[in-house]
Amino acid sequence: MKPIVQISLDLTNIDEALATAAMAMRAGVDWLEAGTPLILAEGLRGVRLLREAFPGVPIVADLKTMDGGYLEAEMMAKAGATHVVVMARAHEETIKCVVNAGRDFGVKVMGDNLGCEDMVAAAKWLEDLGCDYVIHHIGYDERRGIAARGMRMPSPLDQLRDVVNAVHIPVQAVGGLSLEQAIQCPAFGAPLVVLGAPLTIDADAFKTADGNLEDSLRLICNAIHAYGDVGAV
């Protein structure tokens, strides 16, 4: 598949999220993500407003679902989301419920392996349960906590090739990637490139980063879109 650029709107204000989304679309971003902070702050209203402002654009609702999977996926689908996120650490039945809701309401399911002891096995398990995509994810707290103890900060790139080679569905790498690392993701066989903290969102304040973000995003999108078809390597 061709590389896809997704911006994570990990913001807590819908007006700022809408403005950031508009800027991102001008720069060439393909998908919008209603990040977890935005969903907590604005709920279904935030997703509805994104849908109204950007008809036809894929919207990922980063629910990080752990229980009540069918209802959560249904609610977000009816609000306008095209993709929902369920956690690999959830019970198997919850993942199945989200997958079933995805089929019933026409949304794609992204399975997130955040916090799994064996992240490669978790990715394969998510695929086996019917997820459409795998999110290979090193969490915000995990990264910062390990770095604060003076240890090397883990990166999703550490096991990205292994995850890509373990599954037959598209993979997205998430978690503290630098600009250069994000652009490299398609070379690892991961076609879904997400841009968020610290690339486009201030990682401490959860607000849009300062600087000429639109021009920077345009350069990033052009570099990522320059790849041909991306698959396992």
CATH number at residue 130: 3.20.20.70
Give me the domain span that covers residue 124. Answer: 4-225
Closest to 23 measured CA to CA, from 206, 211, 224, 192: 211
pTM for this model (two decimals): 0.91
89 found inside a domain: yes
In 3-state terms the chain splits into helix, strand, coil percentages (rounded to 5) of 45, 20, 35
Q: What pLDDT is stored for residue 198 in this prediction?
A: 44
**Which pLDDT tens digit goes with each residue over 204-233?**
544 455 567 888 888 889 999 999 898 644
Q: What is the pLDDT confidence band of residue 140, given thresholds at 50, 70 and 90? A: confident
Average the pLDDT over 56-77 and give the result: 98
Both structure tokens of 109 = 């399911």
Q: How many helices (H) and strands (E) does the chain have?
A: 9, 8
Which residue spans within the chain are E strands per DSSP? 4-9, 31-34, 59-65, 83-87, 108-112, 133-137, 171-174, 192-195
232 found inside a domain: no
Check whether 100 has a pLDDT greater than 50: yes
Average the pLDDT over 89-94 and give the result: 98
What is the tally of structural domains in the chain? 1
Output the average pLDDT for the chain: 91
List helix spans (H) across 54-205: 69-79, 92-105, 119-128, 140-148, 160-166, 179-184
Distance from C-alpha of 223 to C-alpha of 32, rounded to nearest angstrom: 18
Q: What pLDDT is stored for residue 142 in this prediction?
A: 87
Q: What is the pLDDT confidence band of residue 52, given thresholds at 50, 70 and 90? A: very high
% of the chain with per-residue pLDDT over 90: 76
230 found inside a domain: no
Bridge partners (DSSP) listed for residue 44: none
231 found inside a domain: no
